[in-house]
Amino acid sequence: MLVVSDLDGTLLDHHTYSFEPAKQALTELAHRNIPVVLNTSKTRTELVQILSDLQLTTPYIVENGSAIYSADGQQCDVLGKPREVLLKALDQAREQGFSFQSYRDFGLAGVIEHTGLDQAAAEASLAREFTEPLIWKGSAKQRSSFVHWIQAQGLQCLEGGRFLHVMGRCDKGVAMQRLIKTYYPENEGPVVALGDSDNDTAMLARANIAVCIRPASGERLAPATRGTIIHTEAFGPEGWAEALNDILKNR
Ligand SMILES: O=C(O)[C@@H](COP(=O)(O)O)O[C@H]1O[C@H](CO)[C@@H](O)[C@H](O)[C@H]1O
């Protein structure tokens, strides 16, 4: 068995970023030698700190499936597009009259304001390599034309719990399968994936057990999968522990 997890709103509380309620389930997984792989829209710099806080030594996926890093960070498999390409496209989008504010515009103070991260975590979040998160400032209709315009540039938009991410044509699902093939080819038993937002559906759709964590806002996810779907009652890390304890009880 292998556990692949999103972070914000899933293993980490959407508001406080705490994983306290999931600690006991994490310890139980470690006792049973079940690997926990992180698959997030966060950056590599953010992940290095979070892996250490969670005492995990597993390979990981950053920036919405844009890159897979080995546990020691020495090997990197890139699936996404460099951020410079995205920023150039966003310059052109502005010239077309689209209205948004992205990480580049926020700077450190803006990231802290929008996310509630502390200064060190916000700095780590600004160290982006492959994605540009933004907040839409126009109408819903303009937003939909923007999404189409971005697609016409060979890029795509994916929705996280807080931001719309402009990025290359990769996702957490493809990256998860590539990571398993590379690092866990001998895995036996189900792949359990846990997520709460739209950017998690591609990963949930490819798992044997898709755990849809109750989202802090918006609708519950409904991934198109032939696997088992579990919807948690609790939010964030409480929901994470609820689902994993249930799955482990039956194994
Ligand atoms: O778009 C979002 O809501 C989150 C989603 O992150 P996950 O893929 O849920 O771990 O990611 C952004 O915001 C985080 C702070 O809330 C930052 O830590 C991330 O770097 C950023 O991508």
pLDDT more than 90, % of the chain: 98
| pLDDT (tens digit per residue) in 87-127 | 999 999 999 999 999 999 999 999 999 999 999 999 999 99
Within this chain, do residues 178 and 245 fall inside the same structural domain, yes or no? Answer: yes
pLDDT at 57: 98
Q: Which of 167, 199, 225 is the last residue of a domain?
A: 167
Mean of pLDDT over the chain: 97
Determine the atom of ligand 1 nearest the C-alpha atom of 197. Answer: 9
Centre of ligand 1 from the C-alpha of residue 8, in Å: 6
> For residues 15 and 116, what is the distance between their CA atoms, to the nearest angstrom?
8
Determine the atom of ligand 1 nearest the C-alpha atom of 8. Answer: 9
Domain with residue 97: its CATH number is 3.30.980.20
> For residues 195 and 8, what is the distance between their CA atoms, to the nearest angstrom?
9
Within this chain, do residues 99 and 163 fall inside the same structural domain, yes or no? Answer: yes
Q: Which of 167, 196, 214 is the last residue of a domain?
A: 167
pLDDT at 213: 98
Determine the atom of ligand 1 nearest the C-alpha atom of 200. Answer: 8
Q: Is the pLDDT of residue 250 over 90?
A: no
Within this chain, do residues 139 and 196 fall inside the same structural domain, yes or no? Answer: no
Domain, as residue range, for 92:
83-167
Q: Which of 132, 167, 202 is the last residue of a domain?
A: 167
| Exposed/middle/buried for residue 211 (C-beta within 10 Å: 0-12, 13-18, 19+) | buried
**How many domains does the chain fold into?**
2
Q: Is the pLDDT of residue 28 over 90?
A: yes
Q: Which residues contact 95 (CB under 8 A, 6 or more apart)?
A: none
pLDDT at 218: 86
| pLDDT (tens digit per residue) in 210-230 | 999 999 988 999 999 999 999
Within this chain, do residues 70 and 178 fall inside the same structural domain, yes or no? Answer: yes
Whose CA is closest to atom 5 on ligand 1? 160
pLDDT at 43: 98
> For residues 71 and 69, what is the distance between their CA atoms, to the nearest angstrom?
6
pLDDT more than 70, % of the chain: 100
Kindly provide the ipTM of the predicted complex, given to two decimals: 0.96
Which residues surround ligand 1 with Cβ inside 6 Å?
6-9, 40-43, 46, 115, 117, 125, 133, 160-163, 197, 199
